[in-house]
Structure 1
């Protein structure tokens, strides 16, 4: 699990690097390869997406079986890639950087992800490839849309890694969070005992699972929901502080003020004044 989290952080770091240094990224080619065999050396990085069919690709002597919806990478160090004729449609984008550090980051991350030997199953990426192709074919190499869709490919990789790193309790905690928001919007009190009973779990155990997954207790998460609503009321209404405290679900004005200042660093009154002065 720790290794998965490190990998996820690595993808996130690369996304930030590409975003900040986009002017140093060169898109060499972007298009569709359909049904025809290929056999040739690698030239630069590629992110390839099999939108239709299946295919067996041989990369430097290693067989990689691709199925529909698979994203796989080609390293800039690849010596040879080959496949046979077949019924398939492959979208590809070839790229490189004029910065050695950024190339090293791509090389390292693709190696850690093993995307060249273990494709990642993702859906719907052909839309991003088609949009990039359209912009590039019009000569818009510096288009913000090319950058947006290229980054979206990396973001989808990030979510793919994050999903694989989910704990067995991820869906349970997500369901609890959903219930808390639904209860709040329905005007119901947020009681841990009721939530625990709904899932037939001990309160302490559920709270421990919740904190393991999110980093905060259920009580802290409840307070965040209440405080976000209170902040909106402070910013947009002239309601008295005590009325806002009750509307947000706090016991009284004093409890609200203590909790608010502990989280925001200022009193509700100061927060309202700061917002209005802004």
Structure 2
């Protein structure tokens, strides 16, 4: 134990510093409304070919990019996804689709299958077997990453990929709808994003009213109370109420 305690700070001191242009080379560029390449082809965890078009057949898609052999961030993202989706009343595979796409063209369906098995074992309530764990070639990965604004690069010094963390909600016709940054997301906000991205296929009247009062904030990747929209609605309601009251008074005076 003593040797381990002494080794950790030594390893940290010897680890190379991050590149000076890290934030320019790795991150998210929000491209709301952008079209994802629906004809891009990947392989699922069982080795079967999958086109993105088949994943968005009438359902919104929740997309994450990373890689299965990632020693740090991607495990946190996958576990955060499972933790959040287990708390939704919407079900993957039935109401929406979930896809995790590897950015490493060297990874194989065996890597995806291993990640699926481990995640399903840790989160039995998240319906992980219904998710899509995909691998692909450099061209397909690059086309998808560019479409959703996902910037990443391979750091040969660390022998790791540098990349951002977050989710992308995609509409049934393959358009980028919303972004959720980080590794933890409020289930209520994620549900609203899926309902909004579904173009009326999901949700109920309560969801519609909530979406009217809340707006998607692209700077935070979350839903927040749309103050301006709410004030406009209240103003219109007040004017209508005042007009009806004056009309009632006029009719009463004539009577």
Larger helix fraction of residues: 1
The higher relative CO (CA closer than 8 Å, separation ≥ 6) is in 2
* TM-score, normalised by the number of residues in structure 1: 0.31
Using structure 2 for the length normalisation, give the TM-score: 0.33
* Larger gyration radius, structure 1 or structure 2: 1
